[in-house]
Amino acid sequence: MKSVYIYDTTLRDGTQGEGFQLSGLDKLRIAERLDAFGVDYIEGGWPGSNPKDVEFFREAKKLKLKHAKLAAFGSTRRANVKVEEDPQVRLLLEAETPVVTIFGKSWELHVTDILRTTVEENQAMIRETVAHLVKNGREVVYDAEHFFDGYKDGAGHALATLKAAAEGGASCLVLCDTNGGTLPAEVEEICAAVRRHLPDTPMGIHTHNDCELAVANAISAVRAGATQVQGTINGYGERTGNCNLTSVMPILQLKMGIEVVPRMEELRALSHFVDDISNNPHFARAAFIGRTAFAHKGGMHVNAVQKLARSYEHIVPASVGNEQTILVSELSGQSNILLKAEQMGMPLAKGAPEAAAILTKVKELENEGYSFEAAGGSLELLIRRELGNYTKPFESTEYHTSFRQYRDGHKPVCEATVKVSVNNEIELTVAEGNGVVNALDIALRKALLPFYPEIAEVALVDYKVRILDGHDATAAKTRVLIVSAHGGETWGTVGVSDNIIEASWLALVDGIDLFLQRKS
Ligand SMILES: CC(=O)SCCNC(=O)CCNC(=O)[C@H](O)C(C)(C)COP(=O)(O)OP(=O)(O)OC[C@H]1O[C@@H](n2cnc3c(N)ncnc32)[C@H](O)[C@@H]1OP(=O)(O)O
Ligand SMILES: CC(=O)C(=O)O
């Protein structure tokens, strides 16, 4: 028997978050993935809410979940309606899930001002709905909405609602910090009081992140005896989101020694899967699984982690499926450069003059506005040049761009002319594109294609522009970051100039140049 169960509500509370939408098929795919990862409960949605959720539960019956139990979510019966006759409750049973989770009102304010009924009727709604679902063979999880606010406003009333759920036969009483305003010490104290009051029914926790404390609050509840933790992958959810399972699970398992899932090393992949399916960008600075969670930038740190990784890493990155990365920037020391050169297959001895020269160049260029953190391709070119491991594949002699806007409904035209020289052979090409940079990109490839047919497969996949502030009346500069791709490989290059087109050109040329260096 586990001491803490993980209850995932990504498919229900997660979808209450702005910008997080899932199709029925998306939900089925995420449910399968969560099951394979090893969570204990998957809350699939609210069958009474919309046709998509009804359809989801119909299709979910075909899922062959190996471990997780599927839960349908809904509310207690309406006031003054017989539970057998409440259409929402009927739909919860028709979902035919082994688990049904219902939420009820713990805060008297909500009983009188939102439900507009009496405290006695509210308790009857809770007790009767739980009992009806239990009678129909369901494991019933009871979510005590606004429990902490309700408890602080009137502990007697809040506890009486929990007692009603326990009397109805709920398998777990989940205390919800619905508005996300409770602090960890309060959570621990109130959870401990609930354990003393109702020691025979397991307690769970459901927290929201309005004070950036959802994970801390869940941990406090576990310390006070909670045995079920509810949350969502990547913290998606209503307003600022829910308790982030990608943080709370490794904290429980790796820090507190509470085994919650069998394959924690798949956590990062799960997090990316959910982002990708919902078409959301990955949060780079996410704890444990973010791209920067083990990215070392400061020269001192890089020096130390090469000697002993745990000197600046709180866990082994691979234990959550992440990895250490070393960034090169103006804050680097020689250790950063040595490591990069080694990763590129050009190892350098500590103290080598080339390492010092590369470092100086990086610092000078960053002072001019370059940034190599996301431009590993341009950094590689710089290192190759300094180490004499570079052959110029082409000379870009000149380029010209133009943009024509018509007022008669004709689509605007962006045009670029590019002249390059390869082995003293001149190639002049012209191309049109969706924008000036697109036209330049097409014209450059067209010019180089006769000499390097392999560049036909290189694609420009991302283009970012940042205006860098000018100092003391100097002109503002533009930094352009480009990401190129070939096969499964991607690389970033950077260009900086007073002129956005020139900055783009520099980054474009570096992108193709690096590809050809690596091929040669
Ligand atoms: C804390 C939480 O996150 S709970 C989950 C919240 N999630 C959602 O609301 C998403 C899904 N919701 C929906 O699709 C819709 O709101 C539905 C289908 C459930 C209900 O839609 P409608 O019947 O049109 O009602 P509407 O949403 O306007 O209002 C909610 C009603 O439920 C009542 N209600 C709220 N909580 C409860 C409860 N625990 N038990 C019984 N009734 C409740 C409210 O009093 C209100 O009824 P009233 O206006 O007659 O007083
Ligand atoms: C039940 C729920 O989602 C909440 O109280 O936040």
Residues 437 and 335 in one domain: no
DSSP conformation class of 317: G
What count of other Cβ atoms lies within 10 Å of the Cβ of residue 408? 4
Q: Is residue 387 part of a domain?
A: no
C-alpha triplet 277, 281, 283: angle, nearest 5°: 120
Residues 130 and 242 in one domain: yes
Cα distance between residue 163 and residue 200, in whole Å: 11
Residues 207 and 339 in one domain: no
Alpha-carbon 437 to chain mean position: 30
Mutate to test the pocket of ligand 2, among 41, 106, 175, 178 (most ligand atoms within 8 A of CB): 178
Q: Is residue 386 part of a domain?
A: no
Q: Is residue 284 part of a domain?
A: no
Q: 440 C-alpha vs ligand 1 centroid, how far in Å?
A: 55
Nearest CA to ligand 2 atom 6: 178
Tell me which ligand sits closest to the C-alpha of residue 241. 2
Looking at residues 86-100, what average pLDDT do you find? 97
Q: CB–CB of 168/134 below 8 Å?
A: yes
Which of the pair, 239 or 349, is modelled with greater confidence?
239
Cα distance between residue 143 and residue 46, in whole Å: 14
- pLDDT tens digits, one per residue of 437-448: 999 999 999 999
Q: CB–CB of 142/129 below 8 Å?
A: no
418: enclosing H helix or E strand: strand 413-422
- pLDDT tens digits, one per residue of 426-467: 999 999 999 999 999 999 999 999 999 999 999 999 899 999
Residues 190 and 75 in one domain: yes
Residues 166 and 20 in one domain: yes
Judged by average pLDDT, the poorest of 49-63, 105-119, 184-198 is 49-63
The range of the structural domain enclosing residue 323 comes to 295-364
Q: Is residue 288 part of a domain?
A: no
Q: Would you state the pLDDT for residue 496?
A: 96
Q: Name the residue among 179, 178, 203 with its Cα closest to residue 193.
A: 203
Residues 150 and 243 in one domain: yes
Looking at residues 233-245, what average pLDDT do you find? 98
Q: How confident is the model at residue 373 (pLDDT cuts 50, 70, 90)?
A: confident
Tell me which ligand sits closest to the C-alpha of residue 124. 1
pLDDT at residue 468 above 90? no
Find the CATH number of the domain harbouring 108.
Answer: 3.20.20.70
pLDDT at residue 204 above 50? yes
Cα distance between residue 39 and residue 68, in whole Å: 6
Cβ neighbors of 185 (< 8 A, separation 6 or more) are 220
Nearest CA to ligand 1 atom 11: 49
Pocket, ligand 1, Cβ cutoff 6 A = 13, 16, 46, 48-50, 75-76, 78, 103-105, 114-115, 145, 178, 238
Sign of CA dihedral 467, 470, 476, 480: negative
Find the CATH number of the domain harbouring 487.
Answer: 3.30.160.340
Q: 198 C-alpha vs ligand 1 centroid, how far in Å?
A: 28
Q: How confident is the model at residue 82 (pLDDT cuts 50, 70, 90)?
A: very high
Q: Would you state the pLDDT for residue 517?
A: 94
Q: How confident is the model at residue 520 (pLDDT cuts 50, 70, 90)?
A: confident
For 22, the token pair is 């899932």
The three-state secondary structure class of 42 is: strand
Q: Name the residue among 247, 225, 372 with its Cα closest to residue 314.
A: 247
pTM for the structure as a whole: 0.86
pLDDT at residue 210 above 70? yes
Q: Is residue 270 part of a domain?
A: yes
Cα distance between residue 179 and residue 187, in whole Å: 13
Q: Is residue 384 part of a domain?
A: no
Residues 423 and 519 in one domain: no
Pocket, ligand 2, Cβ cutoff 6 A = 13, 103, 143, 145, 176, 178, 206, 208
Residues 440 and 465 in one domain: no
The three-state secondary structure class of 187 is: helix
- Return the amino acid letter for 518: R
Mutate to test the pocket of ligand 1, among 21, 46, 230 (most ligand atoms within 8 A of CB): 46
- pLDDT tens digits, one per residue of 296-351: 999 999 999 999 999 999 999 999 999 999 999 989 998 999 999 998 899 998 88
Nearest CA to ligand 1 atom 4: 103
Nearest CA to ligand 2 atom 3: 13
Q: Is residue 343 part of a domain?
A: yes
Tell me which ligand sits closest to the C-alpha of residue 76. 1
Residues 337 and 476 in one domain: no
Residues 465 and 443 in one domain: no
Residues 25 and 155 in one domain: yes
Residues 181 and 73 in one domain: yes
Domain end marker among 432, 451, 470: 451
Q: Would you state the pLDDT for residue 472?
A: 47
Q: CB–CB of 35/257 below 8 Å?
A: no
Interstrand relation of 413-422 and 395-404 (parallel, antiparallel or unpaired): antiparallel
ipTM confidence score: 0.94
Q: Would you state the pLDDT for residue 111?
A: 97
- pLDDT tens digits, one per residue of 124-182: 999 999 999 999 999 999 999 999 999 999 999 999 999 999 999 999 999 999 999 99
Q: 278 C-alpha vs ligand 2 centroid, how far in Å?
A: 22
Tell me what percent of the residues of the chain surpass a pLDDT of 90: 90
Number of domains the chain contains: 4
Domain end marker among 343, 364, 385: 364
377: enclosing H helix or E strand: helix 376-386
Tell me which ligand sits closest to the C-alpha of residue 17. 1
Q: How confident is the model at residue 519 (pLDDT cuts 50, 70, 90)?
A: confident
- pLDDT tens digits, one per residue of 29-65: 999 999 999 999 999 999 989 988 998 999 999 999 9
Q: Is residue 408 part of a domain?
A: yes
Q: 117 C-alpha vs ligand 2 centroid, how far in Å?
A: 20
Q: Would you state the pLDDT for residue 475?
A: 67
Average pLDDT score, the chain: 95
pLDDT at residue 473 above 70? no
